[in-house]
Structure 1
């Protein structure tokens, strides 16, 4: 999968698909070892992408692209007043509404005697309370296959037993990265759950060993040393982490901080949420 250190709502591979960029070349790869070659390189045109700008000259890297997409998404969010795509928001801080006269207490009530509320920055597009939950289902072996018989194992299949029933909660991540968002493999071809087992299919070039992207320039052309050969599965990862990604309602959704009453020295909590934040 094309990845970057800066996570974006729009995946890099989806961007390449929308822009009509060769998916293998976008991931710094080709299958020139096959005869005939698959995803051949045009020697007269530098269409291979690299992870970092310093790995080649006069070319945009995947890290550069991710930064541009991230900035664009932030600009869109600022203009709309909410995120252009679903995401979990953390560390959003608000000052609790205070009376106009700073020397008085509002007792948690507004001028009409009603309970005060705080509006999230996402406004009307607030989906639900809760935090991002990530539970590792397992780390199965990836099976590579060649459905069309052209010599390239272009299909990757992952199968593992699970108790999860919602396919939207299934996600793949590079192994040993603890389910960090920037290591999610997306988009996937298909996700199917049946008889207590989940089967995921995806393009094999999205599972190139990420260590191969971190090379140092040697002065060779992109047709030789710096190009990743996907004509062999040796350059793909052998295992993948399968996670359940969900909204965890068991974790605290909000925390409130205020000065104690110097007389009673007692904190009064909402009877509904116990002080962890009500979703209204």
Structure 2
């Protein structure tokens, strides 16, 4: 995750001369990246969310941190060397800081969960090639949905973007690309059901003119909620019943050694960008301490 928590963790880790890679879906995929006005982030009055994130990222990059735009689809965290799997390859490291926020969904629409892997997907990079020359639907109103629709247009015969409101909430240049892409059709609406028995056969949506069925063999869903995003962990990191990750509140280490979690992945905190940033700094300090075998974190970092 590359929001304020992940970017700040990268800043502290890179400044400590640790090789640091941040894997993030998109600048606009997180809660802060979608916020157009922020009044209470220290030192940056009246900034937009993307401006804050970009500023922290640039500072982290100045110390050598690398930001990679990828979607994480799985992990292996048991060994001394952790592995993080993406649609284009595997990243390895001795410590992992989880900073994926809480825009996950707590529930599925009818038919969705049953047809995951049989036409329902959450990763265009992973599954676009399966629908080469065929029509697909993309459901979502944020920047991530727009980016994935544009990516899918390189493979699919037609892309139907189902979104709430008059238009998706995305950067102007992405909206311009969307308008100019002849393979993408925009349909205002809300997903009600994924249709099909053994495989996806279509979706049912509620639009301005009532319900309608769109026949497609694949649907890519990028809807957002307020549940911690932990699906990529596949149950490898212990969580509370509400989905929040269990950590040591002093070190931010989870119950899996050398795996840390911060920000909105945790419960009981005020959900603010500055809180996530503080968590990121502390997690990086403690990760560096553990990696270099010291008992105490460095106190001279300024």
Work out which of the two has the higher radius of gyration on C-alpha atoms and give 1 or 2.
Answer: 1
Shared topology, TM-score over 0.5?
no
Higher strand share: 2
Higher helix share: 2
Please give the range of the TM-score, normalised by the shorter of the 2 chains: under 0.3
